[in-house]
């Protein structure tokens, strides 16, 4: 029974200290998205299995090995989402969003993949995800990659990442390249890994993504995509890289054109990219963000042909990327400590409860007035031994302690202790009737 009380392998609890950072990252991602015109939406955490298997490709690692698929009591096969894009595309089609194009959409939430858990790799993880539908200009590619770079620049506290970029070209370029790759690999077919043998017929480009050592050796002399690009695909890619090389220089440490970057999913076309962290604690999991263009996906899923580009960043990896400084703004945390032990009189209880209410009404009103992101809280620590409660006052991160005993109740005052400086002052309770006084008292 006891191991049943542990979280399931590959999942973990996000306790308050970590949650603070976790939600700060999501808020930054959401705000930055809004700055570039992205609006938030949400899709269900599970979908009909085909939503993922058809779009991501039956031979992709995710579909063939990593999905959490189960049958409902009604006998339908459903899958916990392993990514956002397929569900977003499904939602785009089911809700007739075609008529509102172009659309820039942001989403965040948990995702599920059955993989071997390691640092930065979990079975339940989280992403911030951006999709831009209805714009096939190369400038859109530049802009969304700039947004990705901006996000990582902000979170890493500088140019902490390198952009790896490639183009898969248009359909015509891809078909030519596919044929060249297959004829190069065919003589090595016996030596390829089991996965790659299967891919050779089904999706040879994905062999370029193989991590198998033997495969990597065979690939050293393989033909490269760049040599098979049509003139227009090449021109498109060159323009993108050229603007990114000048503009992006503000945000990324480096831009690497990487002809072997294919990304693991079937739906990508033209531009694909990844951002790799240069520093931080990511180890082997140093790809923090990945995306690409997927102009064929919506039509393939049964919608009207709609160009689209998107990317997603893993929140757990963004957490590891962040320098170890506290990015949360200093919150105001007030603890109210009644100096009574067991037999608190009704009058004292009333006095303290009313003071706490008054304080919370003011804090909420000030928060609304200032539109601040700072969290304000006021909590009364009613129970426990007095010495324990005061010990808690200094240990639990309270910025202020309000101490109330008989003297305070009788004189309509409260004792305020600033926990950082240790200074104490006696203050009239009626001061809590006005926002301005409260701001002064607590240094808001």
Interface positions with ligand ATP (CB under 6 A): 83, 113, 115, 120-122, 125, 127, 264, 285, 287-290, 312-314, 316-317
Least CB distance to ligand ATP at residue 228 (A):
23
CB 287 within 8 A of CB 275: yes
Task: Specify the residue, 127 or 253, whose C-beta has the smaller distance to ligand ATP.
Answer: 127
**Main-chain dihedrals φ then ψ at residue 126, nearest 5 degrees:** -135, 150
Q: Pick from 233, 246, 236: which is nearest to 141 by CA?
A: 236
- Give me the residue whose beta carbon is nearest to ligand ATP: 314
Q: How far apart are CA 121 and CA 124, in angstroms?
A: 9
Least CB distance to ligand ATP at residue 80 (A):
12
Task: Specify the residue, 112 or 351, whose C-beta has the smaller distance to ligand ATP.
Answer: 112
**Main-chain dihedrals φ then ψ at residue 76, nearest 5 degrees:** -85, 145
Least CB distance to ligand ATP at residue 313 (A):
6
Least CB distance to ligand ATP at residue 287 (A):
4
Task: Specify the residue, 248 or 314, whose C-beta has the smaller distance to ligand ATP.
Answer: 314
Least CB distance to ligand ATP at residue 342 (A):
50
Q: Is 63 exposed, middle or buried (0-12, 13-18, 19+ CB in 10 A)?
A: buried
Going by the DSSP 8-state scheme, the letter that residue 98 receives in this structure is G
CB 270 within 8 A of CB 138: no
Task: Specify the residue, 158 or 264, whose C-beta has the smaller distance to ligand ATP.
Answer: 264
Task: Specify the residue, 287 or 399, whose C-beta has the smaller distance to ligand ATP.
Answer: 287
Task: Specify the residue, 123 or 362, whose C-beta has the smaller distance to ligand ATP.
Answer: 123
Least CB distance to ligand ATP at residue 278 (A):
15
Least CB distance to ligand ATP at residue 373 (A):
25
DSSP for 181-216, please give it: HHHHHGGGGGGS-HHHHHHHHH-GGGGGG---HHHH
Q: How far apart are CA 333 and CA 444, in angstroms?
A: 12
> What does DSSP say about strands 287-293 and 376-380: parallel, antiparallel, or unpaired?
unpaired
- For the chain, the residue count is 444
Task: Specify the residue, 55 or 403, whose C-beta has the smaller distance to ligand ATP.
Answer: 55
């Amino acid at each position: 029974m006891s191991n049943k009380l542990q979280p399931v392998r590959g999942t973990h609890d996000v306790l308050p200290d970590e949650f603070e950072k976790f939600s700060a990252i999501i808020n930054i991602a959401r705000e930055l998205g809004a700055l570039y015109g992205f609006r938030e939406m949400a899709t269900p955490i599970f979908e009909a299995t085909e939503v993922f298997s058809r779009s991501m490709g039956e031979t992709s690692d995710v579909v063939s090995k990593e999905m959490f698929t189960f049958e409902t009591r009604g006998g339908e096969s459903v899958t916990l989402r392993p990514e956002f894009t397929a569900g977003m595309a499904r939602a785009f089609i089911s809700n007739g969003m075609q008529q509102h194009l172009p659309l820039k959409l942001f989403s965040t939430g948990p995702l599920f993949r059955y993989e071997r858990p390691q640092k930065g790799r979990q079975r339940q993880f989280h992403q911030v995800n951006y999709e831009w539908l209805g714009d096939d200009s190369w400038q859109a590619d530049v802009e969304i990659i700039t947004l990705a770079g901006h996000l990582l620049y902000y979170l890493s506290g500088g140019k902490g990442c390198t952009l790896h970029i490639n183009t898969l070209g248009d359909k015509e370029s891809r078909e030519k390249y596919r044929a060249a790759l297959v004829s190069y690999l065919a003589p090595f077919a016996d030596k390829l890994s089991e996965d790659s043998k299967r891919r050779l017929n089904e999706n040879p480009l994905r062999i370029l993504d193989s991590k198998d050592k033997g495969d990597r050796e065979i690939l050293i002399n393989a033909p490269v995509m760049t040599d098979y690009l049509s003139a227009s695909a090449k021109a498109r890619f060159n323009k993108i890289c050229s603007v990114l090389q000048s503009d992006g220089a503000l945000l990324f440490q480096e831009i690497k054109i990487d002809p072997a970057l294919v990304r693991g999913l079937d739906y990508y076309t033209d531009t694909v990219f990844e951002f790799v962290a240069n520093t931080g604690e990511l180890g082997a999991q140093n790809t923090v963000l990945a995306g690409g263009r997927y102009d064929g996906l919506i039509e393939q899923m049964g919608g009207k042909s709609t160009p689209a580009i998107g990317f997603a960043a893993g929140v757990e990896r963004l957490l590891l990327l962040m320098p170890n400084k506290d990015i949360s703004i200093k919150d105001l945390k007030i603890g109210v400590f009644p100096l009574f032990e067991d037999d608190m009189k009704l009058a004292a209880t009333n006095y303290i409860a009313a003071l706490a209410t008054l304080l919370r009404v003011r804090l909420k009103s000030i928060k609304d007035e200032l539109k601040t992101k700072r969290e304000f809280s006021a909590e009364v620590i009613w129970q426990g031994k007095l010495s324990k409660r005061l010990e808690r006052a200094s240990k639990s991160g309270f910025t202020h302690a309000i101490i109330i005993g008989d003297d305070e109740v009788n004189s309509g005052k409260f004792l305020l202790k600033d926990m950082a400086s240790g200074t104490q002052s006696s203050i009239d309770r009626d001061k809590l009737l006005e926002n301005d006084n409260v701001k002064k008292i607590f240094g808001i």
